[in-house]
Structure 1
Amino acid sequence: MSHPPTRNAVEELAITSNDEVVIVRQKVRASAIELGFSLVDQTKIVTAASELARNTLVHAGGGHARIETVQNATRRGLRLVFSDSGPGISDLKLALTDGWSSGGGLGLGLSGSRRLVDEFDLDSEPGRGTVVTVTKWTR
């Protein structure tokens, strides 16, 4: 029988400037260290958080990040939720293609972030904004 994850600490952060992208990155790193992530996994979750926070700022003009610790029967993890009320993504498959970028960036944002985490969920449609939820579990 599988147990739903138990939720612990939750932190909500606004993303309206580059400074706040940096704060999201710092808070995610602190949470990953506190949970005992390896250095490699710390780097992965912080990189994903940085990319997703930047996407929220650049493509939607800002939004919110939620950082929460989660636990299932065997391990603890970090769940990050990035949400915005921006223009949304019309072609999710294209947006998740490696190397594709709508903003002249490196195109690492969504597809790269998906590879760095254990669970990845993208919910978006034009005119409704975007919610990206990622989870990284301790090893």
Structure 2
Amino acid sequence: MTAAAAIELPIGADEDIVRIRQLVRTRAQEAKLSLVDQTKVVTAASELARNTLTYGGGGRVVIDMPTNGRRVGIRARFIDEGPGIPDLDLALTEGWTSGKGMGLGLSGSRRLVDEFTLDTEVGRGTTVTIVKWSR
């Protein structure tokens, strides 16, 4: 299988979140993820896209299909230049919500994927990268 080229999409409106969900599902199917794993990565991507829009003031996502020699996966990088996350420990606390979102939060998104990295700096923005691998 040849890895698909990276695609970058803007995150500036609710319609963008729908497009991101659709692309993540398509790429997850191409990576031959199970239906359960497809649902997990689409759910995480939807939450992170919503966070990028709501808390980061918008941004972009870069979606590609990495391979580690044995498996292929789907990777999505959510990037904003918003205010950043002032209390990362609190934001990653299980069950914590700001009261504005779906309540899944960063910790819930992290549970749904195989790899989760978060880089944030107050006043500079946030980048969250998720990866889900085929089994």
Q: What's the counterpart of residue 79 of structure 2? A: 83
Contact 2:47 2:102 in 1 (8 A): no
Q: What's the counterpart of residue 24 of structure 2? A: 28
Q: What's the counterpart of residue 114 of structure 1? A: 110
Q: Percent identity?
A: 61
Q: What's the counterpart of residue 4 of structure 1? A: none
Q: What's the counterpart of residue 126 of structure 2? A: 130
Report the Cα offset of residue 117 of structure 1.
0.3
Report the Cα offset of residue 8 of structure 1.
4.6
Contact 2:96 2:105 in 1 (8 A): no
SS in 1 for 2:69: coil
Aligned length: 134
Q: What's the counterpart of residue 65 of structure 1? A: 61
What's the TM-score once normalised by structure 1's chain length?
A: 0.92
**2:101 counterpart (98, 105, 111):** 105
Post-superposition, which runs of at least 4 consecutive aligned residues in structure 1 deviate over 2 A? 102-107
After superposition, the C-alpha distances for 1:73-99 in whole angstroms (9 at most, x for unaligned) are 211001110000000001111101122
RMSD: 1.4
